[in-house]
Structure 1
Amino acid sequence: MAEVRPIIVRFPALGDTVLLTTLIRALALRYGTQVDLLASGGWVEPLLAHNPHVGEIQLISSRRAPYLLTPSQWAAVKWLKARPNAPIYYCERDPHSARLVARAVTDEARFVRAWDHWNDPHLHWVEWWLQIANLTPACVQPAPPPVSAPAFTALYPSEADHTECARWIGAQGWGDAPLVLLQPGHKKTSKRGRIATADHDKHWPAERWAAVIRGVLEHLPAARVLVCGSPREHGLVQEAIDAAGEGFDLAGRAVNLARDLPLPRLMALSARAHSMISVDTGPAHVAAAMDCRLVVLFGGFGWSRWKPRAPSGRVAALGPSAEGAARVADISVEQVLTAWRELVA
């Protein structure tokens, strides 16, 4: 059949972008071509720029802003109209996204609308994306045969990213020390006030992160514990490190990376790291996609749908499997350290 280049419409958070790599790869394998993406978010291009299954990425600044005031939406409509025969895998369900796409495409035969095929609230995102990849818009005739694609996420930092990361690690003087990553913050950390953040179901107090830092260093005295986060999370990260140093000689072995960790470096660092301990958040999915051994703390969303998927499967999930009223604060320090020690044994 003639080459058909499918389009995915998805406006993902960071972790959602990583999970989406399973759909991207499956569609690329099924159609025998790269996949184009209409998306938003400053993390999309750093994460996907070197993915061999990704073709063009068209970004909008906001799907909620008024169309007449948003040039990136005008460009997206023009971009869609320039692909009049492309099948569209529409993976959103909010009215803003629907109105934007409808400005360019009205032929329903071109669409697979993913949320019309959602029937299992416990199904993991990866399995769902693989199911969606094997659906076919009516406009595609004959339909390409279904594929059995890998059920894990994958990211592809460039060789330059790996080289830069190695140079940076050397400049810190860490040499061959085991690098254990910690990720205490999540995307709401930088959006909510301090009190509101403490009430969030993913919040784990600084003193518990401090105890984990000490436990890791007692188990691996030569390690460096690199506490990750966004620049806005610098204070949260430093609070945990300061607490870890109370009555314990850190000797520079715990480092705040919140202002020194662009996404390309996080990807390359995850590939080199000994392991990671994280709350349920985007960087945990990045680490899993780079096959870093990983312990993840889950709260109210549970892990049945959200557990990061690594190529080797070396991911330990703590907390409930199903969505409910649980909180990360229900998980003890000893549970975390025990899971981590078993994972890295």
Structure 2
Amino acid sequence: MSQRAVRHPVVIRFGRLGDTILLQPLLHKLRHRYGGACRLVSLGDCSRVLYEGNEDVAEVRHFDSQYGALWLNPQRLRTALSLRELRESPFYICEPDVRTRTKVRPMLALAGIPAEHCVFIEDTPLYEAEHWVDWLMRFADETPLAFRDALCPDRAWPCAPHLEPTAAELDEAGQWLAHHDMYGRPLVLLQPSNKRTMRWNGVRKREDDDKSWPVERWAALCTAILDHMPEARVVLCGSAAEAAYLATIGKAAGHANVITPREGLPLGQLRALLHIAHSMVSVDTGPAHLAAAVGCPLVVLFGNRWPSMWTPRSATGSAVHAIGGLPDVPRIDHIGLDEVAQAWRQLPPRPAPMARRPLQQALRA
């Protein structure tokens, strides 16, 4: 009997951080189906940070923007041309958005990717109230016409993302904690912002953002957490562009144990901190999915989205408590402080079997 050919599936997804995290179970399943790690074509550097060195991903090819015509976007054009060398691979296009699909198909055409090498998630109907990961996992069972020999192993597949921090990320986080005199303290991370929070001229008006929770409630939540756990440090998470907004929350809280990083938290450092943190409270956004993927107990606040489709999933069994969302709560600012504080207090600890790599080596002189 001849040995099955090893192939490296190409997965295309032009999503943001949360979308990219939710791909992990599909990437894992496709690696086992085809025998080779996937090649991920994606939007933004977050995909490289998340998957560089991951056993399910052989390489990441990414560009910064999908906007504009292909011929006028040099990064996207170079990425499209680079796909020519992968023409013998199976292609899984996980992009459901019509506008973005108009960006994918020209890239495939320019690269000369045969139609029989491709499957598109748009051809796999989404079931009512189906979770996004479950949809992706069903899509992973689809097979391009040219690769009908790629049978799916008959086994149970994990249907939740699992993303461990790298040793370098843990080292950097350990040094950061030591520098801020927080090493050994319980950490509670808060993620108040989302991709819509900031505009070119400042913070978006609250009425224009269904994921916006008032500054005074975030500040009061900081106080409630520290009243319950005085030895803790509350860290306000976000990007460098959101640092000024986070500072307004820190100022309103008025407590020395509320920490607002001046330059925000880089993604790799955030992953490492989530790996050791006591818990996180977040709006429905990418870092919430990262918290669950790393095994950090989580309270997540939903606005105009269905929790049945988007609640973060934990492969380690860590707690995820979703509050709000459709059909009953269309905006996060409809959620009261007491409900969030109580949900946080009731979070169970991380599952005991979960091993967390130590940070001690990061504190060596």
Task: Report the TM-score range of the alignment, normalised by the length of the smaller protein.
Answer: over 0.9
| Unaligned segments of structure 1, at least 5 residues | none
Q: Secondary structure at the match of 2:219?
A: helix
Q: Secondary structure at the match of 2:190?
A: strand
> CA offsets, 1:29-81, max 9 Å, x none?
22221000111212111111121110121113333322223222332222211
Say whether the 8 Å CA contact 1:237–1:258 is kept in structure 2: no
Counterpart pick for 1:155 among 146, 163, 172: 163
User: Residue 283 and residue 276 in structure 1: after superposition, are their counterparts in 2 closer, same or farther (change >3 A)?
Assistant: same
Q: Secondary structure at the match of 1:28?
A: helix
Counterpart pick for 2:221 among 193, 212, 224: 212
Kindly report which structure 2 residues correspond to 1:39-78, keeping only aligned pairs within 5 A, or say none.
Answer: 39-78=42-81
Rounded to whole Å, the distance in 2 between the matches of 1:257 and 1:118 is: 43
Say whether the 8 Å CA contact 1:228–1:261 is kept in structure 2: yes
Say whether the 8 Å CA contact 2:34–2:150 is kept in structure 1: no
Rounded to whole Å, the distance in 1 between the matches of 2:269 and 2:10 is: 28
Q: Secondary structure at the match of 2:172?
A: helix
Partner of 1:335: 339
Rounded to whole Å, the distance in 1 between the matches of 2:219 and 2:137 is: 39
Say whether the 8 Å CA contact 1:233–1:258 is kept in structure 2: no
CA apart distance, 1:132: 1.0
Partner of 2:321: 316
Kindly report which structure 2 residues correspond to 1:31-180, keeping only aligned pairs within 5 A, or say none.
Answer: 31-92=34-95, 93=98, 94-146=101-153, 147-180=155-188
CA apart distance, 1:28: 1.1
Please, what TM-score do these two structures have when normalized by structure 1? 0.93
Partner of 2:25: 22
CA apart distance, 1:171: 1.6
Rounded to whole Å, the distance in 2 between the matches of 1:96 and 1:12 is: 13
Q: Does 2:209 align with 1:200?
A: yes
| Code of the aligned partner of 1:180 | V
CA apart distance, 1:323: 5.7
Partner of 2:361: none
Kindly report which structure 2 residues correspond to 1:149-298, keeping only aligned pairs within 5 A, or say none.
Answer: 149-191=157-199, 193-245=202-254, 250=255, 252-257=256-261, 259-298=263-302
Rounded to whole Å, the distance in 2 between the matches of 1:281 and 1:293 is: 15
CA apart distance, 1:310: 1.2
User: Residue 333 and residue 178 in structure 1: after superposition, are their counterparts in 2 closer, same or farther (change >3 A)?
Assistant: same
Q: Secondary structure at the match of 2:295?
A: coil
| Code of the aligned partner of 1:138 | L
Rounded to whole Å, the distance in 2 between the matches of 1:175 and 1:194 is: 32
Q: Secondary structure at the match of 1:304?
A: helix
State, as a whole percentage, how many aligned pairs show the same letter: 36
| Code of the aligned partner of 1:14 | L
> CA offsets, 1:197-241, max 9 Å, x none?
443110100000011000000100000000111112112211112
Rounded to whole Å, the distance in 1 between the matches of 2:329 and 2:299 is: 21
Rounded to whole Å, the distance in 1 between the matches of 2:178 and 2:318 is: 29
Rounded to whole Å, the distance in 2 between the matches of 1:81 and 1:287 is: 36
| Code of the aligned partner of 2:232 | A
| Unaligned segments of structure 2, at least 5 residues | 350-365
Partner of 2:359: none
Q: Secondary structure at the match of 2:193?
A: coil
CA apart distance, 1:15: 0.8
CA apart distance, 1:100: 1.9
Rounded to whole Å, the distance in 2 between the matches of 1:18 and 1:139 is: 28
| Code of the aligned partner of 1:268 | A
CA apart distance, 1:325: 6.6
Q: Secondary structure at the match of 1:203?
A: coil
Say whether the 8 Å CA contact 2:87–2:113 is kept in structure 1: no
| Code of the aligned partner of 1:266 | L
Say whether the 8 Å CA contact 1:48–1:156 is kept in structure 2: no
Q: Does 2:335 align with 1:326?
A: no
> CA offsets, 1:79-137, max 9 Å, x none?
21111210000112431222222222352211111111023141111111111111111
- Higher mean alpha-carbon deviation, 140-149 vs 164-173, is at 140-149
| Code of the aligned partner of 1:69 | L
> CA offsets, 1:300-339, max 9 Å, x none?
012111111112141000013x467710011110100111
Q: Secondary structure at the match of 2:145?
A: coil
Rounded to whole Å, the distance in 1 between the matches of 2:150 and 2:48 is: 30
User: Residue 9 and residue 287 in structure 1: after superposition, are their counterparts in 2 closer, same or farther (change >3 A)?
Assistant: same
Say whether the 8 Å CA contact 1:275–1:344 is kept in structure 2: no
